[in-house]
Amino acid sequence: MKKSLRPLKNKLVLLSTFILLALACEDKKVNCDLYTGRGNLISSELITEYTKETFEILIGVYGFDPSEFDIQNDVKIYKVIYESLGAKGEPTQLSGAIYVPQLNTKKPMPTLKISHYTITQRDAVASVSPNVSPQSILGSMQGYFAIYSDGIGYGVSVTQASYVNKQASAISGIDLLRASKEFACENNIELNDQLFTTGYSAGGYGTMAFHQIIEEEYSDEFNITANSPGAGPYSLYEMAMRIFNDNVYTTPYYLGFALWGYMLATGDNDALNRWVRPQYRDAIFTMYDGTYAGDEIDNALNDTMSVLLEPQFLADFLGDGEVEFKNYLKNNSFIYGDWKPNAPIHFMHGEKDKTVFHFLMKLGADELISKGANNIKTTSYPGDHGGAAADCMINSIKWFNTMKQ
């Protein structure tokens, strides 16, 4: 007896329908590969979660008063690896951390980009220890989608660390901002259009670089909402002049790092031989490799400039010489050139700061105002470089809160 083919046909119809539905669903999937090359998110990994109770403990550890804060949510913190550029413009991979607020009511969040202060050890970064970034903690616990780039030479980066170089400081953050868009897409996180940026010390420099380069080169892609730099060296040239004129600088590892950064950026490998006395050259050549702490480098150098540096270099710099180096410092500062920031800036600084001098804040603000910037504020707090840090960090976020949507 001949078997009926109807059951088989029915199965084929059902299978065809299933395949078509599956393909239709596939077509509706959101493509989160927003970037190729720079800014492409390579990987993300949950590293820890902070509860509201954890934040209260951390705030106390930082020396902040918990009663000053409105802790709104728990936060999940992810390590991310993304594509970017190294100090010499070569393709490389960088790492960073993304702090994701766990909101009780889902809504689009503003992005808070944090530039890190001076570090010399490769693992002293947020992707390894998330609590090294107080501003990321303070922002994310109040509903900001906070992003922190480890930077060139830190975290997973295998290249040599860069320092106070405008392009290098900006690019690592811009590419993390791109990668964070892919991360948010992949994890169904809604972001609004607000972009706040802040940082302290070298982070104050980094946030200014991030702001300027975005407005000058990436304005079709991103818009800064507001910037609050704290205690940054806004004119490298004026800071160097002050250090060399004073002759004593109690944290010489900052200076050594800046000299090293110049050599790395320009390829002028003989610079340290011309500038630094022989007994201190090895320390600068070898100790910025990501394994030494700042105080260890300080102990290997000398805080008296006439002892640390070659007399001819000092004479030339304080006179009419060293034109190429001076131009490099000016080109990597924020008071020279034509940049007139569009987004508001609120500078904050400690009145007794002898590490990154207080006068640099007024100088930076006055120069930008003279170029036509009309939304510039300055606030001074009691204390030196370390003593004013808490006030600057706390009040930066409070200022952002007045604009936050």
Q: Which domain holds residue 258?
A: 236-331
Tell me how many domains the chain contains: 2
Q: Are residues 95 and 183 in the same domain?
A: yes
Spatial neighbors of 395 by CB under 8 A, at least 6 apart, are 348, 379, 381
Spatial neighbors of 272 by CB under 8 A, at least 6 apart, are 259, 260, 263, 281, 284, 285
Q: Are residues 192 and 322 in the same domain?
A: no
Taking the chain (405 residues) in runs of 10, the rounded mean pLDDT of each run is 48 47 50 94 97 87 81 95 92 97 95 96 95 93 97 91 92 98 97 98 98 98 98 98 98 96 91 96 94 97 98 98 97 95 98 98 97 96 96 96 96
Number of other CB atoms surrounding residue 87 within 10 Å: 22
Q: Are residues 113 and 187 in the same domain?
A: yes
Q: Are residues 248 and 388 in the same domain?
A: no
Q: Are residues 230 and 256 in the same domain?
A: no
Q: Are residues 68 and 179 in the same domain?
A: yes
Compute the chain's Rg from CA coordinates.
25
End position of a domain, from candidates 331, 365, 392? 331
Q: Are residues 101 and 243 in the same domain?
A: no
Q: How many CA atoms lie within 13 A of 66 on its CB side?
A: 12
Angle at which helices 166-186 and 202-217 cross, to 10°: 80
The token duo for 307 is 């002892």
Strand 91-102 and strand 145-149: the pairing is: antiparallel
In sign, the C-alpha dihedral spanning 224, 129, 386, 258 is negative
Is residue 334 within 8 Å of residue 366, measured between CB atoms?
A: no
In sign, the C-alpha dihedral spanning 113, 91, 218, 229 is positive
Instruction: Give the per-residue pLDDT at 27.
Output: 46
Instruction: Give the per-residue pLDDT at 13.
Output: 46
Q: Are residues 104 and 186 in the same domain?
A: yes
6 lies in some domain:
no
325 residue type, one letter = F
Instruction: Give the per-residue pLDDT at 29.
Output: 63
290: CATH: 1.10.260
Instruction: Give the per-residue pLDDT at 21.
Output: 44
Q: Are residues 87 and 218 in the same domain?
A: yes
